[in-house]
Structure 1
Amino acid sequence: MTTDAPWLIAGLGNPGPWFRLTRHNAGFLTVDRLAERHGARFRRRGIGSVVAEIEVDGRPVLLAKPLWFTINQSGRPVAGLMRRYSVPVERLVVVQDDLDFAYGTGKLKRGGGPGGHNGVRSVGDVLGTRDFVRLRFGIGRPPKGQSVGDYVLKKFSDEELTAMPGVLERCADALETLVRLGLNRAQDALNVSA
């Protein structure tokens, strides 16, 4: 890996305004917050993606939102951006919603299975490896009687939306720490036990 290779932080979500504040779009919301911090705008780039370019302490970082039909087909656009910008897998970060963590909590880790998240599965399948970093944004479990599919496609509750700015700030802080200081330091700042 060359030291000047960019980072690619890909937030997963579903395209379209209706999905904007749904739980499945936690990844989009996180990269949106990072772009806002740096005054960057998303522009269409590559195969089915919009990209914003920022720098973190002089290090180039691409923020991406794959827009390939649905979140479940995120792998092709992510792989296309990695090829276009010569991003090694060690510098790929995928931001996903995660049912295994309570809302407002999360975890950074490298590798591991997709945990039932089809967007993460798609990225791993297309790349042929799961050795990338994931920021798992906790959304909690659905209430009894509600399917997972319905739950992740519902909008965040009013209470969750009230807490959202602080949650997004913590995620953005952790991602910037990852770029600046590495995974271990970023994990210390964000990780919680399941």
Structure 2
Amino acid sequence: MWLIVGLGNPGPGYAMHRHNVGFRVVDELGRRFGSKFSNPARMRAEIAEGRIGPPGPDSTRAVLLKSRTFMNETGAAVSKASGYYKIKPDHLIVIHDELDLDLGQMRVKLGGGDNGHNGLRSIRKSLSVGDYYRVRFGVGRPPGRQDPADFLLSNFAARERDDVEIEIARAADAVESLIINGLERTQSSFNS
């Protein structure tokens, strides 16, 4: 079983922000699963379950998670779900926005630092480990001297929205590939 976490902030006011691309990728995976998200008591997250891979006994069970806490407290929800489902960090995938990659770029990797990302920092603190899989979704750098936090908490420009939808689907494909094909094959197919 795998735990797939999309990073973002809860609530409709944040839904289309750059910082919420992780939520949007997990929503796409939920759509593919044909699963509805529920709010289990004491889980502090919206959860959906499904299967990845060919139909039948060879498919892999996966749990999708969108925290009901803000980004800097995501680790609490990830820790609760990991404990409940008995999922170790080597079966955890976190999808998050990445300022250091342009829109249209993606990197799939295992482990690494937090690079100033409050959601990753919270997960590391709660799990006491950073060795889990990451799908880094490029959102680009803010223009001019715009504060990066303000940039992340803003919507994509109208001219970017079609590309964003394509990249959300591609990131969902990368998650499925990581589970089915492993890290090396996924990196060679998706890392740009």
TM-score, normalised via structure 2 length: 0.94
SS at match of 1:52: strand
Deviation of 1:164 (Å)? 2.0
Q: Which amino acid aligns with 2:10?
A: P
> 2:9 corresponds to which residue?
14
Mapped to 2, the partners of 1:88 and 1:121 lie a distance apart of: 18
> 1:3 corresponds to which residue?
none
Where does structure 2 lack aligned partners over 5 or more consecutive residues? 54-58
Spell out the pairing of 1:70-85 with structure 2 (5 A cutoff). 70-85=70-85
> 1:53 corresponds to which residue?
49
> 2:67 corresponds to which residue?
66
Deviation of 1:185 (Å)? 1.3
Mapped to 1, the partners of 2:103 and 2:79 lie a distance apart of: 29
Mapped to 2, the partners of 1:190 and 1:59 lie a distance apart of: 21
Mapped to 1, the partners of 2:103 and 2:185 lie a distance apart of: 22
Deviation of 1:165 (Å)? 2.1
> 2:35 corresponds to which residue?
40
SS at match of 2:51: strand
SS at match of 1:103: coil
SS at match of 1:74: helix
Moved more, 104-113 or 45-54: 45-54
> 2:131 corresponds to which residue?
131
Contact 2:103 2:164 in 1 (8 A): no
User: What is the RMSD computed on CA atoms of the aligned residues?
Assistant: 0.9
Match of residue 25, structure 2, among 26, 30, 33? 30
Where does structure 1 lack aligned partners over 5 or more consecutive residues? 1-5
Q: Which amino acid aligns with 2:36?
A: R
> 2:88 corresponds to which residue?
88
Deviation of 1:47 (Å)? 2.2
SS at match of 1:19: coil
Mapped to 1, the partners of 2:134 and 2:3 lie a distance apart of: 12
Mapped to 2, the partners of 1:51 and 1:36 lie a distance apart of: 13
Q: Which amino acid aligns with 1:101?
A: L
| Number of aligned residue pairs | 186
Moved more, 158-167 or 136-145: 158-167
SS at match of 1:43: coil
> 2:56 corresponds to which residue?
none
SS at match of 2:39: strand
> 2:174 corresponds to which residue?
174
Q: Which amino acid aligns with 1:143?
A: P
Deviation of 1:38 (Å)? 1.9
Q: Deviations over 1:82-130 (max 9, x none)?
A: 0000101100011110000001111011111011101001001110010
Contact 2:2 2:92 in 1 (8 A): yes
SS at match of 2:63: strand
Q: Deviations over 1:119-161 (max 9, x none)?
A: 0010011100100011110000001121011000001111221
